[in-house]
């Protein structure tokens, strides 16, 4: 799997926030609370696994 493919599997806090209609800081709080797993890039930025985000979105929309 190439680097470009891995990047497509990771979402920025802003992208995740847009999916849930929340502030990016909320996404960071979710990660600290253990709802999402954050991956740090070499530059120190947080990214989130797209499949994990989709699963959380599915759970939230089922309620």
pLDDT at residue number 30: 96
Cβ proximity of 46 and 14 under 8 Å: no
Question: Which secondary-structure segment (H or E) carries 13?
Answer: helix 13-20
Say how far apart CA 60 and CA 52 lie, in whole Å.
Answer: 12
How many other CB atoms are found less than 10 A from the CB of residue 50?
15
Residue 4 has pLDDT above 70, yes or no: no
pLDDT at residue number 5: 59
Cβ proximity of 16 and 27 under 8 Å: yes
- Looking at the whole model, is its pTM more than 0.85? no
């Amino acid at each position: 799997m190439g680097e470009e493919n891995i990047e497509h599997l990771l979402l920025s806090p802003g992208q995740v926030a847009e999916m849930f209609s929340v502030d990016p800081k909320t996404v960071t709080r979710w990660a600290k609370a253990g709802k999402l797993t954050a991956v740090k890039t070499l530059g120190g930025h947080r990214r989130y696994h797209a499949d994990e985000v989709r699963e959380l979105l599915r759970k939230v929309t089922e309620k």
